[in-house]
């Protein structure tokens, strides 16, 4: 749905093996290890615009990594939003 909304190809990182997760500095309990997360960017689309749309379609786990230039989304059961530049968690964008 996100790819269709913005009409551009997503650059992704999905499932990770334990070894690869350690190599890239992933969290020990990363949702990538269970095929439940993806990292991506859409060239020319601000990360916050992607995050707002992701939330609007029901995605609950959203992390914006501004310095690295990508967004993380996952299927966690509760809302979680982290915006790297602000160093804080909030429950929603609105």
Specify the CATH number for the domain of residue 6.
Answer: 3.30.1380.10
Exposed e or buried b for every residue in 68-81, given b needs 16+ CB within 10 A?
eebbbbbeeeeeeb
Tell me the per-residue pLDDT of 6-37, one tens digit each, with 9 for 90 and over. 998 887 888 889 999 899 888 898 888 888 89
* Count of domains for the chain: 1
Domain span at 49 = 2-90
- Helix then strand then coil, % of the chain, to nearest 5: 30, 25, 45
What does pTM read for this prediction? Answer: 0.80
Tell me the per-residue pLDDT of 53-90, one tens digit each, with 9 for 90 and over. 999 999 999 999 888 889 999 999 999 888 876 555 55
How would you classify the pairing of strands 80-83 and 88-90?
antiparallel
């Amino acid at each position: 749905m996100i790819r269709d909304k913005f009409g551009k190809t997503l650059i992704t990182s999905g499932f990770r093996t334990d070894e690869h997760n350690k190599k890239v500095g992933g969290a020990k309990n990363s949702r990538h290890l269970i095929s439940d997360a993806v990292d991506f960017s859409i060239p020319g689309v601000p990360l916050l615009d992607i995050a707002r749309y992701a939330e609007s379609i029901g995605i609950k786990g959203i992390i914006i990594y501004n310095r690295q230039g990508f967004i993380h989304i996952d299927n966690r059961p509760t809302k979680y939003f982290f915006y790297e530049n602000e160093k804080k968690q909030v429950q929603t964008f609105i």
